[in-house]
Amino acid sequence: MVYNREGYAPWSLTRKAGVQSATVDGTIEVPQYIQPTLDTGFVDEKGDWKGIKSSDEQFRGFTKDEMVANGAAVLVPSGPTDPDNWIDMTGFKDIIIAIKPSRDGNYAIQSVMGSDAYSFANLNPIVAASGIEVLYAGNNGFNVGVDDSAEALVSAAWNLFYVKDRLLNQKLLQFKITNNSGGDANIETAYMRLV
């Protein structure tokens, strides 16, 4: 297969003069093959490179709260340092929440704003641990993005919850897990973000 052919340069002076036949120095090589391209991002309006997000390949933000009393709540993730103690969903659409309790029973799960020790974009303070209000298609008003008051969890195994669309691009996200199992429980959590 021929990989290059010669064609008239659209800016050729002889072509401009109206000569349609072959000209001296009036041709260019034109590639005749398919070459794949890869789109890995873009330059934004400020001139900064922004890469395209990809889904997390593994769960992250592992947190373990021990001896959580019945009726008590924990905020997760709650890692020791910034940014291990909140979730940044910027560029992500969905999230999978993984919860592993040490006791069978009901647990409440709610999406909340993270700590007021950190800014939400450039806003500070924010109402920490308040439900993240979302207006989504089919609703007449705002509702907390994730607000499940009684989810039956199995102990000593990871219980997975897929949250679709409701928390997309949310900054400074945490989850409030309330132990309603009837006794003290250890609660382990992790998350995975998806584009």
In this structure, are 85 and 177 located in the same domain?
yes
Domain count, the chain: 2
Q: Give the tens place of pLDDT for each residue, 82-125.
A: 678 899 999 899 999 999 999 999 999 999 998 888 888 888 88
For residue 94, give the CATH number of its domain: 2.60.120
Instruction: Please check whether residue 96 is in contact with residue 161, taking contact to mean a CB–CB distance below 8 angstroms.
Output: yes
Range of the domain at 92: 53-194
Same domain, 166 and 133: yes
Mapped onto helix, strand or coil, the DSSP state of residue 171 is coil
Same domain, yes or no: 131 and 181: yes
Considering the chain, what percentage of its residues have pLDDT values greater than 90? Answer: 45
Q: Which pair of structure tokens corresponds to residue 160?
A: 């997975």
Clarify whether residues 91 and 39 are in a common domain: no
Q: Residue 68: pLDDT band by 50, 70, 90 thresholds? A: very high
Mean pLDDT score across all residues of the chain = 85
Predicted pLDDT at 134: 84
Domain shared by 27 and 70, yes or no: no
Of 24-28, 61-65, 134-138, 151-155, the range with the lowest mean pLDDT is 24-28
Shared-domain flag, residues 96 and 64 = yes
Same domain as 57, residue 41: no
Greater model confidence, 47 or 71? 71
This prediction's pTM: 0.74
Structure confidence at residue 24 (pLDDT): 53
Using omega within 30 degrees of 0 as the cis cutoff, is the peptide bond preceding 36 cis?
no
- Are residues 86 and 44 part of one domain? no
16 against 142, higher pLDDT: 142
Is 114 in contact with 174 (CB distance < 8 Å)? yes
